[in-house]
Amino acid sequence: MPLFREAYGLLFNLIVWGYIMQKSDCIISVEHVYKYYGEKAVLNDVNLFVRKGEFVTILGPSGCGKTTLLRLIAGFQTASEGEISIAGMEITQTPPHKRPVNTVFQKYALFPHLNVFNNIAFGLKLKKMPSATIEKKVKQALKMVGMTDYEDRDVDSLSGGQQQRVAIARAIVNEPEVLLLDEPLAALDLKMRKDMQMELKEMHKSLGITFVYVTHDQEEALTLSDTIVVMSEGKIQQIGTPMDIYNEPINSFVADFIGESNILNGVMIKDKRVSFAGHEFECVDEGFGENAPVDVVIRPEDIYIFEPSEAAMLTGTVTSSIFKGVHFEMMVQTPNGYEFMVQDYHCFEAGAEVGLLVKPFDIHVMKKERTCNTFDGKLVDSTHVEFLGCVFECKEVTGIEPETPVKVEIDFQDVILEDNEEDGKLTGAVKFILYKGNHYHLTVFTDWDEDIFVDTNDVWDDGDRVGITIAPENIRIVHS
Amino acid sequence: MINKFSAFFMRRKNWAIPYVVFLAIFVVMPLLLIVFYAFTDAEGTLTMANFRKFMLHPEAINTFVYSIGIAIITTLTCLVLGYPAAYILSHSHFNTSRTMVMLFILPMWVNILIRTLATVALFDFLNFPLGEGALIFGMVYNFLPFMIYPIYNTLQKMDPSLVEAAQDLGANPFQVFVKTIFPLSMPGVTSGIVMVFMPTVSTFAIAELLTMNNIKLFGTTVQENINNGMWNYGAALSLIMLILIGVTVLFSNESDGASNEGGVI
């Protein structure tokens, strides 16, 4: 018994220790943060912990809330709900000038009425530092960003890249605990951006302060970060190292957003056995249960392509082949209608018959977030149901009283999209398109503020306005 | 022939010809005449007598100095009243539909005489004595929109991230204003000052109506001389005023630098 107690005590100590370590190690903590613009939640229960000295990138498409999150940390906006702490201090309502952070703005935001020196010295002068110290620090900061001897220049006379360097110098000269960067390289050309990325990484190393970096460029995120936070629609989708995020995307959104990928519908037959594209494959994932519908992700560089042979798991015809610099990018169509993107150093011309092979650990299996559309609705009478703000005809329902709340289920492929908005019962706009090898999986944002998911073979563009119809026999009503 | 005509018509710089002609007849010619009259006597011989008369005439100089003093007071009052107004208007928070801006700017479009006569009637009704106070009130009332609008314009166009950058670097709201917003709105301020100062120096109608002709401004003196047939002396006084206005414009252009954001137009 005493041995047990000791072991428990030790374990308890370890847990407490770990907790304290984590807390003291954590420089920014964002807990249950919500931000509303009117009714719309731009940030929806965001939780984020940033360790001291880390390079964290918040990555996501435009409008995903990443900039809002950064602005909440900087203090330019305040959270509707939740708590933000920096360096152990709760600062949710603290005005920006009292926060130990500095920001590098997307459009530089240099003061046009001040020269380079005075721009950089702005923060130091506010702290009433002696002018000798200020001069020394400004010189140091300028050296750090490679802009020595530019002190007296007018900021308007500098190029975009130089202005960005001054903006960085202006922020780091204050020695903040955290440096926030809001898409700082977005306005620079590719070559310049690559150079600045390397310099930022160097700077992060030599300064040793925490960087929180916002970008929509996944390559930039992979290059720079220790940790990537992938966001979409106000929610954090995944947090992890660049390797984790790239190799083990948690859902199809992340897989599609980070790098190129083949995403297909599959069925997990049993542990380590998955079927997709009409074949069964060996894989390394387990714990999904039997015959569970899943999403399968295969990176195009993980597919081996060769002349048809015994070793081929799949065969197909190359439909297009594009030279991409280092590799060739080929689209391969299998006889049963699935399309794969393959990247390889060897070129197979369009029309060539090829064999494909995927190794078990290169098949990434992800749980499906949903297998059909589900809405809260209300039965109007035995043949009509109301959901998404409209009344739909449905098959005759028995055993449920009118006016009772019900769950409505519709399969993805049963939602029909119309070119003409007037032809649809509902209207909406295509918001997110995912190619699933032999069909498209669309997210359509209806004008009643709810998403409806659609499987279709037709090609739609992001932002297309559509009408939506659903046949009565395809509406399933479940007692809720 | 038609081809030639259409070619002439198609060249864009030819479109300016009507205005150039108008300008030559109604602006350049009168200015040249003023200069000519200022340096001649009634017989048309060249002389500096008109300017000597001004220099030796303490009354004229007094009016001149007094006019400038009134103009400066008016301009400063307009600035003190107009800047906060422009600042509030530029915040979309207070001003979602631009209706407020319209309300502030609207008086600019009402004829100055009508406004002044209305002020006189109002002062009469309230039993306020007409005089210096009424004069300054009338001037401020008339020219305030000319101060608000240019300042509003620069504040409106200012990049909000500059304010955020200043906050981010540790400036409290007061410091943000002093170190960022005010210096950045200087083009608007100079523009406003010029637009108020210039017309107030030369005004005479407001002075005449609001002081019952008791206080003379420089503009009044010019008008009186011209009305009494003393064209040469009047022209000399006008020229002096023109030079003063020209100097103000030059001064404001210099401080304006390259940015002309403050302009009303």
Instruction: Give the Cβ contact number of residue B69 at 10 Å.
Output: 10
How do residues A29-74 score in pLDDT, each as one tens digit?
999 999 998 888 899 999 999 999 999 999 998 888 999 999 999 9
Fold equal for A27-247 and A373-479: no
Task: Return the pLDDT at B259.
Answer: 45
Reported ipTM: the value is: 0.76
- Most confident segment among A228-232, A450-454, B114-118, B208-212: A228-232
Give chain B's mean pLDDT.
84
pLDDT of residue A304: 94
CB A308 within 8 A of CB A356: no
**Nearest-CA distance from A124 to chain B in Å?**
8
- Count Cβ neighbours within 10 Å for each residue of A364-392 and write b for 16 or more, e otherwise: bbbeeeeeebbbebebeeeeebbbbeeeb
C-beta separation of A444 from A468 below 8 A: yes
Q: Count CA atoms closer than 13 A to A43's CA, side-chain side.
A: 26
| Rounded Cα distance, A342 and A326, in Å | 13
pTM confidence score: 0.78
Strands A227-232 and A55-59: parallel
Rounded to 5°, the CA angle A322-A328-A334 comes to 80
Q: Sorting pLDDT into bands at 50, 70 and 90, what band is B29?
A: very high
Which residues, in sequence order, are CB contacts of A256 under 8 Å at separation 6+?
A263, A434
From the CA atom positions of chain A, what is the Rg in Å? 27
The model's confidence at residue A21, banded by pLDDT at 50, 70 and 90, is very low
Distances (CA, A) of A119 to A123, A142, A204: 8, 11, 22
Residue B199 is predicted with a pLDDT of 85
Annotate B165-234 with DSSP letters as a single string.
Answer: HHHHTT--HHHHIIIIIHHHTHHHHHHHHHHHHHHHHH--HHHHHHTTT-S--HHHHHHHHHHTT-HHHH
Task: Give the domain ranges of chain B.
Answer: 1-36, 57-256
Q: Check residue B262 and give its pLDDT.
A: 45
> Are A66 and A231 within 8 A, CB to CB?
yes
Average pLDDT in the A309-324 region? 91
DSSP A361-427: GG-EEEE-S-SSEEEEEEEEETTEEEETTEEEE-S---S--TT-EEEEEE-GGGEEEESSGGGSSEE
* Stronger pLDDT, A402 or A347, i.e. the higher one: A347
Report pLDDT for B260.
Answer: 45
Asked if residue B16 has pLDDT above 90, the reply is no
The pLDDT tens digits of the residues spanning B145-182 come to 889 989 999 998 898 899 999 999 999 999 999 999 99
> What CATH code would you report for B57-256?
1.10.3720.10
How far apart, in whole angstroms, are the C-alpha atoms of residue A442 and residue A461?
Answer: 10
| Contact across the interface for B166 and A111, Cβ inside 8 Å | yes
pLDDT reported for residue A200: 92
Mean pLDDT of B126-131: 84
Q: What is the pLDDT of residue B74?
A: 94
Percent of chain A at pLDDT > 90 equals 48
pLDDT category at B263 given cuts 50, 70, 90 is very low
Task: Output the furthest CA–CA distance in chain A (Å, rounded).
Answer: 86
Residue of B169, B184, B185, B255 to mutate when probing chain A, most A C-beta within 10 A: B169
Contact predicate A294/A268, CB 8 Å: yes
Query: What pLDDT band is residue A382 in, cutting at 50, 70 and 90?
Result: confident
Q: What is the pLDDT of residue B1?
A: 67
**Cβ contact A103–B162 (<8 Å):** no
Chain B CB within 8 Å of residue A29 CB: no
Closest partner residue to B168 (CB to CB) among A96, A107, A110 is: A96
- The amino acid occupying position A431 is K
A positions 415-474 inside 8 Å of B (CB):
none
B172/A contact by beta carbon, under 8 A: yes
* pLDDT tops 70 at residue A275: yes
Enumerate the H helices of B96-185 as residue ranges. Answer: 99-105, 112-126, 132-157, 160-168, 173-176, 182-184
pLDDT digits (tens, 9 = 90+) for A411-455: 998 888 888 888 888 888 888 888 888 889 988 888 887 888 999
Sequence spans of domains, chain A: 27-247, 260-367, 373-479
**A260-367 homologous superfamily:** Nucleic acid-binding proteins (2.40.50.140)
Whether B172 sits inside 8 A of A107 (CB atoms) is no
In chain B, what percentage of residues exceed pLDDT 90? Answer: 24
Residues near A215 by Cβ (< 8 Å), separated by ≥ 6? A57, A58, A59, A183, A185, A186, A221
CATH number of A373-479: 2.40.50.140
CATH superfamily for domain A27-247: P-loop containing nucleotide triphosphate hydrolases (3.40.50.300)
